[in-house]
Structure 1
Amino acid sequence: MHSVRKVTEDLYWVGGNDRRLALFENIHPIPRGVSYNSYLLLDEKTVLFDTVDWSVCRQLLENVTFLLNGRPLDYVVVNHMEPDHGASLEEILLRYPNVKIISSEKAILFMRQFGFTIDGKTEQVKEGDTFAFGKHEVTFIAAPMVHWPEVLVTYDKTNGVLFSADAFGAFGALGGQLFNDEMNFDRDWLDEARRYYTNIVGKYGPQVQALLKKAAGLDIKMICPLHGPVWRTDLGYFLDKYDKWSRYEPEEKGVLIVYGSMYGNTESAANALAAMLVEKGIKNVAVYDVSNTHVSYLISETFRYSHVVLASVTYNLGIYPPMHNYLMDMKALNMQNRTFAIIENGSWACKSGTLMRDFLENQLKKMTVLDEKVTLNSSLKEENISDLEALADSIVESVQAKQ
């Protein structure tokens, strides 16, 4: 049975939702599922903007069949060829054998790499090219490495719709609401939009900045991403988030405390520091166990907060492995422009603090590490409280200096 939503005149959402998938890209937990967005334009020519993951292909086909109502499908515009959007393309080709594919040179190469039979069915476009489907005329904008090298975004000059590929997306299945103004975005979607951006696109901040500069020259009325809600109001709010995230600027002034603790002793120090910070006036504090929190959430929170405390036990004369994995993800995603503080613990040969500082200063970019450091020998004791207070004061001073 079809399930469609009208986006604006002549344009319909024809995607689907997957609430069964546990891991996006087989990495990132998605407890609320994910939407795969596809859009159908009914003009003199009929145009499908991207397809969907194979898991919701049946829903796509039912939606398209219903709206076409016997008309042929003339074109498929492929902005992004990653399989969560391109997997259903060949099924569309089988159902509509006369359809033409409009896409970039590299995306067409990827189609062949994935084994799709597309000979004689493609029309290659590049940035600046235009295409008219009747009263709707679109132009194509290159968005390489946002977050694959073949990506295009498509701008409909007639109605101001930007088909933004994976930009401006979010984790989470759509629960009937399609548009940002049909939901409480800050409460229900912002965290998942941030986690989506930071883990999927976050490495490519300069490329996102380049796309934002191109978008600034367009009269955009609506943003149609490939995951999550469609934006038709308050576009500046979400554009500002993308600007901050892609410049690696903190979204909020506050302190993220991430601890790695084997038996609870380092955790006790992290909790004590959190309480001190709140008592000293820094109420925007979050505390996470690195062993019990998927790293995608930690990365998202790292993009969010201005200051990060790393509290780690020493393990085999090194950094606690889950903490090291977290640091490696920061490096992989090009994390920068944060202020760090360190708590180290070890029953003998305590090395984690020195190693974490070395990683932050030499493996990451534009990181500041506060000089104050707390060193624990097995557990937090009364003799450590003054050092913990000094660390808390240093963090408070740094946070307030940046306000």
Structure 2
Amino acid sequence: MHNVREITKDLYSIGGDDRKLSRFENIHPIPEGISYNSYLLVDEKTVLLDTVDLSISDNFIENVQEVLGERPLDYLVINHMEPDHAGSIGFIQEYYPDVKVIGTKKTFDLLDQFNFKTSEDNIVVKDGDTMSFGEHELMFISAPMVHWPETMATFDTSNGVLFTADAFGTFKSLDGKLFNDEVDFESDFLVPARRYYSNIVGKYGPQVQSLMKKASKLDVKYIAPLHGPVWRTDLEYILDKYDKWSKYEAEEQGVLIVYGSMYGNTEKAAEDLAKRLIQKGMTNIKMYDASKTHVSYLVSDAFKYSHIVLASATYNLNIYTPVQNFLLDIKSLNLRNRTVGIVGNGSWAPTAEKLMKEILGKMKDMDVLEESFTITSTMKEEDVPKMEALADSIIETLE
């Protein structure tokens, strides 16, 4: 059974939801599923903009056939070659063997790598190139490393739709909805959107900024990503979020406490710090046991909050593994502009504080508080002034 919705004149959404997949990219939990978006433009010529993951290819092909009827598919625009969007290219080429592919030069390199067909009829486009398909003219906008090197965005100059590939995407299935004004984005999609951005695209903030600068010169009326709702109202809201995230600016003044504790002693120290911060007026605190929380959720809140506290036991003369994994993740994602407090712990060779500082020292614009300190095995009375000083320092650096 087909599942098609009209976005605006001549343009249809023909993607679908995947609620069976447990982990996106086999890493990130998606308990609420995910959507794979694809768009079909029906003009004098017909244009498909990206395909979908193999997991929903049957429904996808039904949707394409429902919209086209007896018409051929003339063109396939590939904005992004990652398999969750390019996985069904082979089926499209099988059902519509005369389709011409449009993409960047790197797109065709990747088509070869993934063993899809290429031909002399394929069209290589560069930044700013345009093509007319009847009433609709598409402009192709280079967006390398948002978040693969071949990525581009496509802008329909006639209706103001900007097809943004993975930019402005989000985890979570759409459940029959399509537009941002059909969902409560703040309540239901903001957390999945932040987790998607920070973990998938977050490393490439400068490249996202470059794309946003290009888009700011266009009369954009719709934002059509490859995951999540299509934006047709309140575009400023999601643009503001992306501006902050891609500049590594905190959304909120608050404290994220991530702790790793083997026997509960480091956890008690983290709780003591949280209590002192609350008593001093800072209640916007989120605390996670790194052993129980998937690191993608920790990364997401690291992009959200202005301050981070790492409380870690020493483990095999190193940082407790789940805390270390989190720290290495935010380092690889280029997170910056955060104030960080550290509480180390150890019984016979406490090294966690020193090693966490070494990793943070290799990151840009991370302000490690001097009041960071180490407890030995358990927090004691002599540690209270140190914890109080750390709490005071966090409060003083909050805006």
Range into which the TM-score falls when normalised by the shorter chain? over 0.9
Deviation at 1:160, TM superposition (A): 0.3
Is the partner of 2:371 in helix, strand or coil? strand
Q: C-alpha displacement at 1:382, in angstroms?
A: 2.9
* Counterpart position of 2:45: 45
1:23 match: 23
Query: 4+ residue runs of structure 1 moved beyond 4 angstroms?
Result: none
- Specify the SS of the correspondent of 2:259: strand
Q: Secondary structure of the residue that 1:371 maps to in structure 2?
A: coil
Q: Deviations over 1:349-377 (max 9, x none)?
A: 2111111112111x211110111123211
Provide the C-alpha distance between the structure 2 equivalents of 1:128 and 1:378, rounded to a whole number of angstroms.
61
Letter in 1 for 2:373: V
- Equivalent residues in 2 for 1:1-400 (5 A)? 1-361=1-361, 363-399=362-398
Cα distance in 1 between the residues matched to 2:122 and 2:306: 47
Residue 251 of structure 1: how far off its partner (Å): 1.1
SS at match of 1:200: helix
- Following TM superposition, by how much is the alpha carbon of 1:239 offset from its aligned partner in structure 2, in angstroms? 0.6
Given residue 116 of structure 1, which amino acid in structure 2 is its aligned partner? F
C-alpha distance in 1, partners of 2:305/2:184? 22
Cα deviation, residue 321, structure 1: 1.4
Measure how far apart 1:120 and its partner are: 3.1
Deviation at 1:84, TM superposition (A): 0.7
Q: CA deviation at 1:304?
A: 0.5
Q: Partners in 1 of 2:9 and 2:251 — Cα distance?
A: 35
Amino acid at match of 1:389: E
Specify the code of the residue in structure 2 equivalent to 1:218: L
Alignment partners' CA distance in 2, 1:368 and 1:237: 29
TM-score, normalisation: structure 2: 0.98
> Once the 2 structures are TM-superposed, how far is the Cα of residue 45 of structure 1 from its aligned partner?
1.0
Name the CA distance, whole Å, in 2 between partners of 1:323 and 1:364: 16
How far does the alpha carbon of each residue in 1:138-175 deviate from its partner, in whole angstroms, 9 at most, with x for none? 11000000000001100000000000011000011111
Deviations 1:76-110 (A, max 9, x none): 11111111111101110110111111111110111
Of stretches 116-125 and 6-15 in structure 1, the one that deviates more from structure 2 is 116-125
1:397 aligned partner, one-letter code: E
- Aligned pairs, number: 399
Q: In structure 1, how many angstroms separate the alpha carbons of the residues matched to 2:376 and 2:41? A: 66
SS at match of 2:372: strand
Q: CA deviation at 1:392?
A: 0.8
Q: Summarize deviations over 1:297-351 as a string: whole Å, max 9, x none.
A: 1111101000000000011222111111111111111111110001111111211
Counterpart amino acid of residue 369 in structure 1: V
1:241-282: CA deviation from partner (whole Å, max 9, x where unpaired): 111111111111100000010011100111111121112111
| Structure 2 gap ranges (5+) | none
CA distance in 2, matches of 1:370, 1:263: 26
Give secondary structure in 1 for the equivalent of 2:299: helix
Question: What amino acid sits opposite 2:386 in the alignment?
Answer: D
Q: Give SS of 2:310's match.
A: strand
Q: How far did 1:6 drift? A: 1.1
Q: 1:355 & 1:112 partners in 2: Cα distance?
A: 44
**Secondary structure of the structure 2 residue equivalent to 1:59:** helix
Structure 1 position 28, deviation (Å): 0.8
What is the distance in 2 between the residues matched to 1:270 and 1:309?
A: 9
Rounded Cα–Cα distance in structure 1 between residues aligned with 2:172 and 2:22? 11
Change (3 A) 1:26 1:121: farther
Identity of aligned residues (%): 60
- Offset at residue 137 of structure 1 (A): 0.5
> 1: CA distance between counterparts of 2:273 and 2:4?
51
1:60 Cα offset (Å)? 0.8
d(CA) in 1 for partners of 2:151, 2:358: 36
The DSSP-based 3-state class of the residue aligned with 1:181 is: helix
The code of the aligned residue for 1:77 comes to V
- C-alpha separation in 2, matches of 1:388 and 1:77: 57
Matched letter for residue 124 of structure 2 = Q
Q: 5+ residue gaps in structure 1?
A: none
Counterparts of 2:383 and 2:187 in 1: how far apart (Å)? 39
Q: Secondary structure at the match of 1:312?
A: strand
Q: CA deviation at 1:381?
A: 2.4
RMSD: 0.9
Distance 1:110 1:36 in 2: 20
Q: Secondary structure at the match of 2:325?
A: helix
- Once residues 11 and 37 of structure 1 are traced to their aligned partners in structure 2, the CA distance between those partners, rounded to angstroms, is 13
TM-score, normalisation: structure 1: 0.97
